[in-house]
Amino acid sequence: MCRSVDVKQAVLARNDGLAQALREDLARQGAGVVNLLSSPGSGKTELLGRVLARAVERGVPVAALTADLATENDARRLARSGAPVQQVLTDGLCHLEARQVRARLEGWLPPGTAVLFVENVGNLVCPASYDLGETLRIVLMAVTEGEDKPLKYPTAFGSAHLVVVTKTDLSEAAGFDEGAFRANVARVNPGVEIVRTCARTGDGVDTVLDRALAVRDGAPPHRPPLAPHPHDHDHDHDEPYGHSHTHDHSHDHGHGHDRAETGDRASGHPADPHPAATPAS
């Protein structure tokens, strides 16, 4: 048992070191990193697609990595935004690690990228323990998932710089008790901002993008009780942005950016220009 704990701690410590180096490298390039965590089916991909599209409309240079156990479906969906997108297939691994992110970025991340959005594997357990070099960690939850979700997954919600509620157009139908949800979030992460969003209507999309840009530009994010990484900002946090074994497959779905292959199985195939329609979520 002790050996197992020691190995896990060593793995996490190594990941933290790689993540901090990646964070510093990207900061020198002027890029912020947003790590998106949620359960499967939260509507994370649909919302991210809207955020990317809004960034393109506003002339903000953004890019995205999306991770799944299998298929390139999410990369195809996100590529419709017009932003550069790359898929990482984990072949069964339930989370991303900093070394995977760094490997996928080498020779691919377009110069001048302001924000890199990383859509983690749909899972609120393992991904919560791995720093990806992010400057902002967002945990998302749909109104259909239950108000007690923050209490069931305190590590994920307790390490969030920002909490996003999705599918708010279904609140009434789902019987969502927002007051109870907010109280539960406050129990595991006092003071964290909660943003209400709806991918169908666009509500909250600009807010999510603005928060990512603010942190990238130096605004201190909320400091959660369970810091996502041990080097989590040395400056004052009293007023955050307006508030008192892996087997990687790299598949480029970028638009207008050339990419040098990274990894031995990088396909470099562009996204299908006419992908099958995917229902909004």
Digit-coded pLDDT (tens) for 75-95: 999 999 999 999 988 777 788
Residue with the bigger pLDDT between 194 and 240: it is 194
CB 122 within 8 A of CB 48: no
Q: Using alpha carbons, list the distances in angstroms from residue 170 to 145, 157, 204, 255, 262.
A: 11, 22, 15, 33, 41
- For 167-186, how does the pLDDT look when each residue is reduced to its tens digit (9 = 90+)? 999 999 999 999 999 999 99
Tally: H helices and E strands in the chain: 9, 8
Q: What are residue 252's phi and psi, to 5 degrees?
A: -80, 130
Q: For the purposes of burial, counting CB atoms within 10 Å of the CB of 24, is it exposed (0-12), middle (13-18) or buried (19 or more)?
A: exposed
**Of 9, 10, 35, which is closest to residue 22 (Cα–Cα)?**
35
Place of tokens 């790359």: 86
Strand positions, DSSP E, 143-241: 162-166, 193-196
> How far is CA 126 from its chain centroid?
14
For residue 69, the model assigns a pLDDT of: 84
For residue 3, the model assigns a pLDDT of: 62
Q: Is the pLDDT of residue 142 over 60?
A: yes
Look at residue 254 and give its three-state secondary structure.
coil
Residue type, 110: P
Q: Is the pLDDT of residue 148 over 80?
A: yes
pLDDT band at 230 (very low <50, low <70, confident <90, very high): low
CB 166 within 8 A of CB 199: yes
For residue 229, the model assigns a pLDDT of: 59
Q: Is the pLDDT of residue 163 over 50?
A: yes
Q: Is the pLDDT of residue 156 over 80?
A: yes
User: Residue 256 corresponds to which tokens in the numbers above?
Assistant: 């207008």
Predicted TM-score of the model (pTM): 0.80
Place of tokens 């072949």: 91
CB 240 within 8 A of CB 219: yes
